[in-house]
Amino acid sequence: MAKRPDGKNTSGRGQRDLTVKVKTARGRKSSSTRWLQRQLNDPYVKRAQAEGYRGRAAFKIMELDDKYRFLVPGARVVDLGCAPGGWCQVAVPRVNALGEKQGKAQGRILGVDLQEVEPIAGCEIHQLDFMEDDADEKVKAWLGGKADVVMSDMAAASSGHKQTDHLRIIALCEAAAYLAFDVLEEGGTFVSKVLAGGAEGELQKLLKQRFAKVANVKPPASRPDSSEKFVVATGFRG
Ligand SMILES: C[S@@+](CC[C@H](N)C(=O)[O-])C[C@H]1O[C@@H](n2cnc3c(N)ncnc32)[C@H](O)[C@@H]1O
């Protein structure tokens, strides 16, 4: 029987695939009803539940890694904004963080989030606001050396104001990029969530100077109606 990332065994039984309709309950806003309906009918949400991932975000990093192959055995990974832990769950077997793949190098995963994260075997996770003044120093001390991958899915809670949200996400992405410049090994990879449109030009310019290749990708698991996309910068020049 196959093992799931949450440690449970798969039942092998097929999933029922019925569309769930949500009635607008008293006291629930219609936007919440729409969110709930979309969540209940989202195939990636169902797949995450069936396969034992903590969230649908797991499939985004899976799809990005299937294309760019940065989560390799032995890789030292920093996962910024890692709660509830889907990206970490995907990274554990790929980098061989538990040393289960004999004859392959054992990797390491260091996760950081504002929120507390339930432990994940093979990951070292710290609760930290990465926008704090000395956050970089703390992460570097925990890391104790170089990293091969810095990945960030950090996103601040939505303010409801599109431009504000955009600027916040770019600030998070920039902070992640500066950590990457400091800790990445030559040839390393930086992956970060960004939002399409506007203010990210400077960041793209900076990344192009420091990495051999910079791609902007919308993985299939990223909701088509969201302006989210991911920047994947490979071949860090050091
Ligand atoms: C979309 S979720 C990440 C999902 C995660 N990749 C996964 O697969 O489970 C975004 C995360 O960014 C975190 N975050 C936002 N701002 C942050 C900050 N300043 N420092 C650390 N984490 C932050 C949030 O707490 C949230 O857990």
With the most atoms of ligand 1 within 8 angstroms of its CB, the residue from 39, 60, 82, 113 to mutate is 113
CA distance 216 to 99: 32
Task: Exactly one of 67, 146, 193, 213 is catalytic; name it.
Answer: 193
Calpha distance 203→222 (Å, rounded): 21
pLDDT digits (tens, 9 = 90+) for 27-56: 666 767 766 777 777 899 999 999 999 999
Q: Is 193 a catalytic residue?
A: yes
The average pLDDT across 47-70 equals 97
Q: Domains in the chain, start-ordered, CATH in brackets?
A: 18-51 (no CATH), 54-236 (3.40.50.150)
The residue that leads in pLDDT, 225 or 136, is 136
Q: Is 145 annotated as a binding residue?
A: no
Which residue puts its alpha carbon closest to atom 24 of ligand 1? Answer: 81
pLDDT higher than 90, residue 113: yes
Q: Which amino acid would we find at residue 48?
A: A
CA of 129 to the centre of ligand 1 (A): 10
At residue 226, the pLDDT reads 87
The pLDDT value recorded for residue 12 is 45
Distance in angstroms (rounded) separating the CA atoms of residues 46 and 234: 32
pLDDT at 215: 95
Contacts of 176 by beta carbon, 8 Å cutoff, 6+ apart = 80, 130, 150, 152, 154, 190, 192
Q: How far does the centroid of ligand 1 lie from the alpha carbon of residue 85, in Å?
A: 9
Q: In the chain, where does DSSP find H-type helix?
A: 30-41, 43-51, 58-68, 86-95, 135-143, 162-183, 201-210
Give the DSSP H or E segment for 192. Answer: strand 184-195
Q: Which residue has the higher pLDDT, 17 or 189?
A: 189
- Decide if pLDDT at 25 tops 70: no
- Which mutation among 153, 164, 165, 191 tests ligand 1's pocket best, with the greatest number of atoms within 8 A of CB? 153
Decide if 214 contacts 169 (C-beta within 8 A): no
Query: What pLDDT does residue 13 have?
Result: 46
Q: Which of 52, 59, 56, 58 is nearest to 8 (CA)?
A: 52
Q: Specify the pLDDT at position 7.
A: 75
Are the beta carbons of 199 and 165 closer than 8 angstroms? no
Ligand 1: lining residues by beta carbon, under 6 Å: 54-55, 57-58, 81-87, 112-115, 129-131, 153-156, 172
Eight-state DSSP code of residue 198: S
Compute the half-sphere exposure of residue 114: CA atoms within 13 Å on the CB side of its CA: 11
Of all residues in the chain, the percent with pLDDT exceeding 70 is 87
Q: Which two tokens stand for residue 167?
A: 């600027």
Q: Annotation-wise, does 153 bind a ligand?
A: yes
pLDDT of residue 166: 82
Nearest-atom index, ligand 1, CA of 135:
20
